[in-house]
Amino acid sequence: MAPTTGNKIVLIGAGDVGVAYAYALVNQGLCDHLAIIDIDERKTWGHVQDLNHAIPWAGHSTRITVGSFADCADAAMVVICAGVAQKPGETRLDLVARNVEIFRGIVGKVMEANFAGIFLVATNPVDILSYATWKLSGLPSAQVIGSGTVLDTARFRYSLGQYFGVSSTSVHAYVIGEHGDTELPVLSAGSVAGVPLAKRLREKAEVAEDVSKIFRETRDAAYEIIQAKGSTSYGIGMGLARITRGVLHNADVALPVSALLQGEYGFEDIYIGTPAVLNRSGIRQVIELDLDETEAGQFRHSASVLTDVMAKAGLK
């Protein structure tokens, strides 16, 4: 695929996640035109006006408009945050049937506009809906990216940084697999301030116990936050902006996203969270991490859960 030109983004879905993403875009000046589509047109108009009123102090001249599907024709990226929201106590996979139906309509309208850019999917269950977007759009898999475990990885790195007393930017560890209950941390390949996590875990038994607890809190963080404030938005909004920057800046950056496996980890025809190299063409390369035996088993379980759900949803 030839890289798209221009930095126009069409955002579909102006709920909490979509608006947090839009605000991050404006703050970082990542696009020259942001068109926002939502079924609540009045509320969308309000968000557009509010965001435009931030432009004089943003230092970037982003154009922000109420959009239509016709805007997709010349967009570099279409970012989908629309769908049924996750309820307290509801798993991401519980959402699948309702949101797959919504995506049939959305993706169909986007493709009717002759869209040829990059899809970025954030709606949950994101791995399933990224796969659905790929199938429904007919685009190469490189042009369909899911937010995957970008948020889970950020949460894990933040918490590890707090625990070890270093900046989260000095923590290098991935969470992979389903963005949800079967995800797993790759401790065997992680490091904190240059020291391998595996070494830190071997040195003190209590560290291993604490890190296991930190991961469980990472995995379950969304449920706690949803109970407290109704939704999660800022972390995923910033994660989406980071993915967007990697694509539009042609950065060849490795980020944990939902990508199509084509033999990696022994699986094919499934979207799942894994590091991948992103640039202007989308997913340039899926990175297969060297997992230890325990991690490999956990990953197989995560992939099998997603495969079963896709089959039940009629996607496979």
Is 113 annotated as a binding-site member?
no
The string over 64-78, giving b where at least 16 C-beta atoms fall within 10 Å of a residue's C-beta and e elsewhere, is bebbebebbebbbbb
Identity (one letter) of the amino acid at 204? Answer: K
C-alpha 115/C-alpha 107 separation (Å) is: 10
DSSP state of 316: -
The enclosing H or E element of 296 equals helix 293-312
Is 83 annotated as a binding-site member?
yes
Structure tokens at 182: 């079967």
Is 126 annotated as a binding-site member?
yes
Q: Which residues participate in catalysis according to the annotation?
A: 179
Is 216 annotated as a binding-site member?
no
Is 17 annotated as a binding-site member?
yes
Is 85 annotated as a binding-site member?
no
Structure tokens at 90: 């509801």
Number of Cβ within 10 Å of residue 281's Cβ equals 16
Is 28 annotated as a binding-site member?
no
Is 281 annotated as a binding-site member?
no
Is 127 annotated as a binding-site member?
yes
Is 6 annotated as a binding-site member?
no
3-state helix, strand, coil split of the chain in percent (to 5) is 50, 20, 30
Is 282 annotated as a binding-site member?
no
Identity (one letter) of the amino acid at 260? Answer: L
Angle CA 242–246–251, to nearest 5? 145
Is 193 annotated as a binding-site member?
no
Which of 122, 144, 153, 129 is closest to 24 using CA atoms?
122
Number of Cβ within 10 Å of residue 191's Cβ equals 16
Is 155 annotated as a binding-site member?
yes
DSSP state of 71: G
Is 279 annotated as a binding-site member?
no
286 SS3 class: strand
Binding-site positions for substrate read: 86, 92, 124-127, 152-155, 232
Binding-site positions for NAD(+) read: 13-18, 38, 43, 83-84, 99, 122-124, 147
Binding-site positions read: 13-18, 38, 43, 83-84, 86, 92, 99, 122-127, 147, 152-155, 157, 172, 232
Binding-site positions for beta-D-fructose 1,6-bisphosphate read: 157, 172
